[in-house]
Structure 1
Amino acid sequence: MITYELLILLRLMPKAELKSALKRTADAIFQKGGIIRKLENLGTKDLPFRTSVHGVVYNKANHFLFEFNAPPSSIASLFDEYIRDVDVVRRRLYKKNEPVQFECTLDNEMKPPPYRKDVQDLIEQAEQQNKPKFKYNTNLDYYPFQK
């Protein structure tokens, strides 16, 4: 299953109602065959602009981030369900990309060029491509390939 991130903004409400709204949101994920990996409360924040949903204008909202795994076929119906929920001000669903693992090479990059491994490899490769040259000490008194 693919990992998704759901950023959901809920209207300001008492804790009991907020708890039921979060439970409703989580149950929708479970009913679609999903598994919640992480739920993060990002707090109550001002919205960057006024948002009107279901005939009400909102300036502040409770921000929550769900990280969950679900089959891709269930995402559209899950999103439709959140559109109809009156407690949800905004919702954004993203496919989570796994971070790319890389090795830090700062120590190697700080070395002078002749001491770096990649530069040494390039020098070695250039030496292998050197063509054999005529040696003048072959006991011949002339250059045999002269025109």
Structure 2
Amino acid sequence: MITYELMILFRLMSKPELVNTLKRTAQTLYNRGGIIRKLENLGTRDMPFKISSHGVVYNKASYYLFIFNSPPASIPDLLDEYERDIDIIRRKIFKQETPEFKECTLHEELQPPPYRKSVQELIAQARKLDKPKFKYNTGLDYYPFQK
């Protein structure tokens, strides 16, 4: 199964109502074949702009992030069900990208620039672009017949 992120904005509610809404949201995920890996509360915040949902204009919302695994075929059903829920202001599902492994190069970065491999590659690449100088077989370093 693929890992997804569900960013969801709930309307402001009392704690018991919010708990019931979170349970209902999670149960919907389970019913569609999903497995919740992580639930993160991002707090109650002012929204960047007013949002109208189900005929009501909202300025503040409770932000939550669900990280879950689910079959791709169930995503449209989830979005449809969350769209009809009156407690949800906004919902968006993203496919979570696997983090790319980067090797630590601190020991190389601490070296002076001329000794770094990346800088040496750039210098070699710049030298390829230099024009070769024409050498006169006169032993002089200039062209003697130039005006």
- What interval of TM-score do these two structures reach, taking the shorter chain for normalisation? 0.7 to 0.9
- Could you tell me which runs of 5 or more consecutive residues in structure 2 were left unpaired when the two chains were aligned: 125-147
In the TM superposition, what are the counterparts of 1:1-147 in structure 2 within 5 Å? 1-112=1-112, 115-116=115-116
**Gap regions ≥5 residues in structure 1:** 124-147
CA RMSD of aligned residues (A): 1.9
When Rg is computed on C-alpha atoms for both structures, the one with the higher figure is 1
Number of matched pairs: 121
Q: For 2:62 and 2:116, how far apart are their aligned partners in 1?
A: 52
Query: 1:110 and 1:36 mapped to 2: Cα distance?
Result: 42
Q: Runs (4+) of structure 1 moved beyond 3 Å? A: 112-119
TM-score by length of 1: 0.76
Please state how far the C-alpha of 1:6 moved relative to its aligned partner: 0.4
Match of 2:143 in 1: none
TM superposition shift of 1:110: 3.4
What's the % identity of the aligned pairs?
61
Q: Secondary structure at the match of 2:98?
A: coil
Residue 92 of structure 1 and its aligned partner are, at CA, apart by 1.1
1:78 partner amino acid = L
SS in 2 for 1:8: strand
Cα deviation for residue 98 of structure 1 reads 1.2
